[in-house]
């Protein structure tokens, strides 16, 4: 809920609270009723892109969990009534007024697809102007459905962090659930890690492989052996010994990797990116860019990135991430 505030000085700086996080440069009240004036415009855009011909009700039913309701999607009068109670949508109201109590709608019928399309549009149109029911959605995933793998598809593993905390605090750290991110855990997501291990431990032998040649008969060792001649010019050339010329590899330091990633993403020189600054401060309120940077750090440091890394000074963040995962 959003409560009215009294006059605030133009010089006042927003403060962080238990449930508030100031974001510089962002002045849009996402997921609050203050955005309901934009629902109609957003609905018009969605209607241009979502139509019943492309809706597969079976793929949505009991699988899609909207942020608005935190209950699995279904084409039923009860579900439409629930959405209407939350949104007060005139579109949903019109559907309900024309819904017969005894009407049965087959899941693969054209009418079911039309109703599903209308419902999806309303769920999405009101989503950005309504609270996100993430806690209840997690309860559906972990408790009702008992999922074994949660895979987040996004720029950064934000929901992964929330899910990990939920599993630790509410489900006693249930280790049977794998919380993965599409970029950070790509090998686990696509099972390529397991495939590589199997291939490494398996050495196939072809039936067509030639049999090993029999050991040659013992031959007397020649008394005379060939000698290797070294041109005088090589000895006198003063060429450095190869062993002495080798330069030892030096592992990349986390601060160097982190510094380079952030400078590249923010399109600044290294000298312009202070190690005392934070990611949040450097992106200037651009949450998408911030998520991209955090996602790149998770990928580079193989997930060894602390929570709220975007609020840490870069020097402190580098000390917390550990060794880089891609030093090569």
Contacts of 123 (CB under 8 A, 6+ apart): 66, 68, 69, 73, 83
Query: What is the pLDDT at residue 324?
Result: 44
Query: What is the pLDDT at residue 36?
Result: 92
Most confident option among 116-120, 151-155, 230-234, 308-312? 116-120
Helix or strand (DSSP H, E) at 180: strand 178-181
Is a pLDDT exceeding 80 seen at residue 25? Answer: no
Residue 137: exposure state from Cβ atoms within 10 A (0-12, 13-18, ≥19): middle
Q: What is the 3-state secondary structure (H, E, C) of 102-117?
A: CCCCCCCCHHHHHHHH
Helix or strand (DSSP H, E) at 181: strand 178-181
Is a pLDDT exceeding 70 seen at residue 5? Answer: no
Query: What is the pLDDT at residue 47?
Result: 95
Cα 233 to Cα 227, 245, 294, distances in angstroms: 18, 20, 58
Band of pLDDT at residue 212, cut at 50, 70 and 90: low
Band of pLDDT at residue 214, cut at 50, 70 and 90: low
- Residue-wise pLDDT for 119-153, tens only, equals 999 999 999 899 999 999 999 999 999 899 999 99
- The mean pLDDT value for 184-194 works out to 86
pTM: 0.60
Band of pLDDT at residue 308, cut at 50, 70 and 90: confident
- The mean pLDDT value for 284-293 works out to 83
Percent of the chain with pLDDT over 90: 39
Query: What is the pLDDT at residue 235?
Result: 47
Place of tokens 């509410």: 170
Query: What is the pLDDT at residue 123?
Result: 97
Is a pLDDT exceeding 80 seen at residue 279? Answer: yes
């Amino acid at each position: 809920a959003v409560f009215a505030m009294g006059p605030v000085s133009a010089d006042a700086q927003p403060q962080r609270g238990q449930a508030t996080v100031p974001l510089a440069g962002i002045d849009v009240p996402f997921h609050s009723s203050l955005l309901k004036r934009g629902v109609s415009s957003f609905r018009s855009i969605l209607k241009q892109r979502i139509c019943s011909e492309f809706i597969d009700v079976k793929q949505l039913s009991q699988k899609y969990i909207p942020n608005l309701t935190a209950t699995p999607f279904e084409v039923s009068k009860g579900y439409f009534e629930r959405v209407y109670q939350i949104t007060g949508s005139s579109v949903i109201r019109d559907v309900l007024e024309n819904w017969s109590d005894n009407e049965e709608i087959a899941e693969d019928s054209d009418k079911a697809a039309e109703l599903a399309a209308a419902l999806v549009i309303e769920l999405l149109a009101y989503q950005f102007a309504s609270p996100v029911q993430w806690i209840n959605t997690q309860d559906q995933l972990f408790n009702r459905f008992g999922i074994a793998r949660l895979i987040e598809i996004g720029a950064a593993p934000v929901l992964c962090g929330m899910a990990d905390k939920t599993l630790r605090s509410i489900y006693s750290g249930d280790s049977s659930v794998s919380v993965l991110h599409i970029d950070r855990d790509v090998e686990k997501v696509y099972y390529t890690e397991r495939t590589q291990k199997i291939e490494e431990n398996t050495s196939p032998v072809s039936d067509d492989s030639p049999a090993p040649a029999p050991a040659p008969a013992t031959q007397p060792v020649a008394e005379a052996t060939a000698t290797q001649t070294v041109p005088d010019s090589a000895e006198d050339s003063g060429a450095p010994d190869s062993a002495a010329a080798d330069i030892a590899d030096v592992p990349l330091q986390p601060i160097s990797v982190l510094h380079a990633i952030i400078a590249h993403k923010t399109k600044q020189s290294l000298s312009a990116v202070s190690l005392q600054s934070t990611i949040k401060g450097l992106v200037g309120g651009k949450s998408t860019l911030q998520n991209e940077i955090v996602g790149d750090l998770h990928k580079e440091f193989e997930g060894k990135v602390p929570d709220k890394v975007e609020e840490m000074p870069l020097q402190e963040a580098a000390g917390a991430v550990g060794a880089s995962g891609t030093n090569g």
